[in-house]
Structure 1
Amino acid sequence: MIVQKTWPQYIAVRVLIVMMRDLGLLGFTYFYAIFALGGVKAIAHPVSIFIEVIAAIEVLFYLFFFLPYRWYLQTYKPYRPPPMSRSQRARLFYKALSLVPDGEDFVRKWMLNAHMEDIRRENLKDWLLWALFEHDNTTNRPTKEINAELDQYIDDAEETFGIKLRSGRGKAEALRLSFDPVIIQHRSLFYYMVIGIFDNLMALYLLTQGYRYYKQPFSTFFKVFPVRLVNLLPFTHSAADGMSYWEPTPSIRGRTGHGNEWEIWWASATDAGTAYTLARRLCWRESLMWREMLTPSLRNIEAGYYASGSPEETAVFGNGVQVGMRSTVILGGEDCVTAPKSVASYVYSGDVRWSPDDIEIWKRYEWTGKQELELMFLDGKDHGQGIMVPFPHKPIQNVIETYCRRDDGFEPFGDKFIGGPESIYGMPQQTQEVVELKNM
């Protein structure tokens, strides 16, 4: 993110959130304060009138747009993906179980940081019912077969993590995005106006740089807020339903805790559209990116996954990229959204365990563009900081330009190393994953 983990920037982010969220309330606070100090003459001053008008507009925006819109989004039923078979659920569960670095921390975070003594087996069942069955455990109670399956999963998780959960139900509440209320924080109309101005200025800049714009139909113009004026211009319609995009013109010439967590939580996660999409339109198991999906040459090696290419495996793990395609994972070493060290270790070696020596290896690793999967570890960078203007990370630009040149045929592919970085530097020894699926 833009800000660092310092107290001055933390305070600045909190103050900015209050100003962008409570602008109407601040305006009316000013009105009453200035009236108490200076009377009618003070509130009739041109500056006071300007502030009071802005406050009135913000309050009307809150009452007649935000509150109805928030209620409207809560009424949507969550997206329900096709149900999985028992074997598909088991494959997904045990694959995920093998990639959890700290079991107790993992369980506590999905239980909203509850203490372990407040987390019992029924609480974990609630979460598993959401994660594997899209079941809210309120309208219909799980069958005996499902309960037995969940008990098996919990027993295996306890054995893997070395923990023991008490029977029954504790005080903890599981985080279940599809069934929990959509958390939406108010943003002032002024905030949206600022976003709209920057969005339209960026559109103007991209047009001057030769980019082509592919727009949505005019009927969707008022469905995007703030409005995107470029949609009024006679550009080609987008081939993708529900999405507009920019495309560069081909050319052969080269041309919550810390402040950062508060920033991404308020500016992104609690935005009405983002919060609704995460809570009602996103299925986490359909959005996973497994390492095997990016390393087709290793699919017959690692733990047997993707070996058969059967519809059952495809339903759980997806199709993955085609043989010959290359991918680069770019990860900030201080990313506040993920567990960056564990993710980097998984990308680099297929294991979530890491040591300080591994970090030094990731930092020294030289990107080649010739492997199926490569890691670019940005030490000290937070989420998105590697692409922040005006100081984007030059190696990222090199990755994009190199891939684009190869896609356009300007540069031959050349020799390619099959596999990930471990194919050159060696993969650490890993214990073979043994998954026993009972009663299948």
Structure 2
Amino acid sequence: MIGTSPAEYFFIRACILFLHNIAPISTLYCIQLFLIQFFHLPIYLKRIPYPIQFWLTAEAVFFAIVFIPLKYAFRQSPIYHGSISPECREILFRNCHTNVPNPEKYISRWLMVSEGEYIKRDNVKDFIRWAFFGPGHTWEQDQRNEQEIETYTTEIEKMIGRKLSPGRMDVKSLGQLLNEAGGSHRSLLWYTCVFVVDTIMYFKMLCHGFHFHRSSLLQFFTVFPCRPLTIFTAYLSPARHLTYWHRRHTSKKRLPVLFIHGIGIGLYPYTTFLRDLNRELGTGATNDSEVGIIALEIMPVSSRITHPALAKDVMVGEIMEIVRYHGWSRFVLVSHSYGSIIAAHLLKSNRSAPLIGPTVFIDPVSFLLHLPDVAYNFIARQPARANEYQLWYFGSKDIGVAHTLAKRFSWVDNIIWKEDLRIKVREKQQEGRNVTVVLSGKDLIVDAETVGRYLMGSTAEGWTIDKEPVRTWKNRPWVGYGLELLWYEQLDHAQVFDFENTRRPVIKAISVYSNTN
């Protein structure tokens, strides 16, 4: 993530302005070219060099025959929402209800209104229907569940300390905006840049000692831009969709590491981190004591045109196929940002949870996901600073990311609570797991302060933390046991990977966890 300086602001705005206007300019060029064939107009276009004319024509064709049909198909695809039983829904509501530090902000932000006193009761009911019963909630279901919805509405009134006014406001809630999120056009020039970056990443990972495991040749043309170098690898992924980079594991005393990246441009931003992690784990290793690493590639959130994001159970199943293929019986789970969503699925699945040992979350978005911060910052916030424009255009407006968040992102499935982590406690030495969470104080997506307070303390007494001063929990020394926090006050989202002195403690934690066999 870039910074917030004026120079970075003008740079990112210039990049967006240029890339965003390629499609209309190339379309206008092709229209003029078409009209010239039928009308005797001055042919100023001859002054444009032929390579640029060819590029503009290709951009217009790509926009018309690829992007527009793709966007229409994505818009027509159904919204996935995890269904749960009334009993589980009750537990989920209680967990959410208990963990709301600012009730007025919670309701107002989800309903996208500025003043809490204008909130109407029917709007809150609409929010409850969307959040707990699914976006496709029908009228018949509404009648059947009316008593449950009414109970939850009354509980929210108690939470905010007043009765809600009857009626409904004419507003579009954050939930509606989330389900309607649409991606903007990406030019062939942009996908050429993605291809170049992907090629650089490919050679870097090879130099760092990783081997690429590709999907079948039948899947080759399901990813654009194409990855011709991947054809030449001798390794085949056992999963249908997931590709990954692998370092073999031969150690009998240490745990291997599974890494899941976040939204962006694939594994390229993590190559230095993976190199340093590989060196740390490989210190003093011999042929029969190497520590393995698997770095998954999640293509739908990696600035590609490809298949839709995999359903929760399919993703867990494919990851388990990969893990078992390499003979791993237990591993350290490391995830960044959106990767924490997939980590949450693994930790809550009976198929995969027994295989997961110590866990590291870096800039996680899955904790307190019922709060509106992540959805608002990613979907609804109007960008003002350089890092916000970078997130908005290159993140949330990417068509694959937009489809994933609008159609395949079920917060009911994706949220994770402290209880789901099964934290190791000293009274039960052989049970539970060690967990480290890495948070950045200036994170532009996650409310890191609130997430840190939730993780490191108790919300039982008004979100106080064991009666400690508010900042004491940020500076607790890391000891490698139980639930711990690495706090970086001055860093933004993903900046922990940018500097050696901030990567080092994270890598050290993973290395220590690898020794926990």
Instruction: Compute the TM-score of the two structures, normalised by the length of structure 2.
Output: 0.65
Structure-2 change in CA distance of 1:262 and 1:359 (3 Å) = farther
Percent of aligned pairs with the same amino acid: 25
Give the number of equivalent residue pairs.
376
Structure-2 change in CA distance of 1:88 and 1:141 (3 Å) = closer
Structure-2 change in CA distance of 1:232 and 1:104 (3 Å) = same
Partner residue, 1:18: 17
**Take 2:117 and 2:100, find their aligned partners in 1: how far apart are those partners?**
21
**Take 2:127 and 2:155, find their aligned partners in 1: how far apart are those partners?**
16
Structure-2 change in CA distance of 1:223 and 1:238 (3 Å) = same
**Pairing 1:153-192 to 2, within 5 Å after superposition:** 153-176=152-175, 180-192=179-191
Select the residue among 248, 262, 268 that pairs with 2:395.
268
Report the CA distance between 1:252 and its aligned residue. 4.2
**Pairing 1:307-386 to 2, within 5 Å after superposition:** 323-351=431-459, 353=463, 360-369=471-480, 371-386=481-496
Gaps of 5+ in 2: 32-40, 250-280, 286-382
The one-letter code matched in structure 2 to 1:329 is V
Judge which range, 232-241 or 277-286, deviates more. Answer: 232-241
**Take 1:111 and 1:245, find their aligned partners in 2: how far apart are those partners?**
40
1:224 partnered with 2:247: no
Whether the 8 Å CA contact 2:105–2:116 is kept in 1: the answer is: no
Structure-2 change in CA distance of 1:24 and 1:179 (3 Å) = closer
Whether the 8 Å CA contact 1:31–1:43 is kept in 2: the answer is: no
Select the residue among 18, 43, 46 that pairs with 1:44.
46
The one-letter code matched in structure 1 to 2:211 is R
Partner residue, 1:79: 80
Partner residue, 2:201: 202
Whether the 8 Å CA contact 2:119–2:164 is kept in 1: the answer is: yes
1:280 partnered with 2:407: yes
**Pairing 1:9-158 to 2, within 5 Å after superposition:** 9-26=8-25, 43-45=45-47, 47=49, 49-81=50-82, 83-116=83-116, 118-137=118-137, 140=140, 142-143=142-143, 146-158=145-157
Report the CA distance between 1:224 and its aligned residue. 1.2
The one-letter code matched in structure 1 to 2:164 is L
Secondary structure class of the residue paired with 1:247: strand
**Take 1:333 and 1:108, find their aligned partners in 2: how far apart are those partners?**
24
**Take 1:194 and 1:389, find their aligned partners in 2: how far apart are those partners?**
24
Judge which range, 263-272 or 236-245, deviates more. Answer: 236-245
The one-letter code matched in structure 2 to 1:110 is W
Gaps of 5+ in 1: 33-38, 302-321, 410-440
Could you report, residue by residue, the CA deviation over 1:338-366 in whole angstroms, capped at 9, with x for unpaired residues? Answer: 111000111111438369x8563244222
Whether the 8 Å CA contact 1:180–1:279 is kept in 2: the answer is: yes
**Pairing 1:392-403 to 2, within 5 Å after superposition:** 393-403=503-513
**Take 1:227 and 1:73, find their aligned partners in 2: how far apart are those partners?**
21
**Pairing 1:239-258 to 2, within 5 Å after superposition:** 239-250=238-249, 252-253=282-283, 256-258=383-385
Report the CA distance between 1:261 and its aligned residue. 1.9
**Pairing 1:429-440 to 2, within 5 Å after superposition:** none
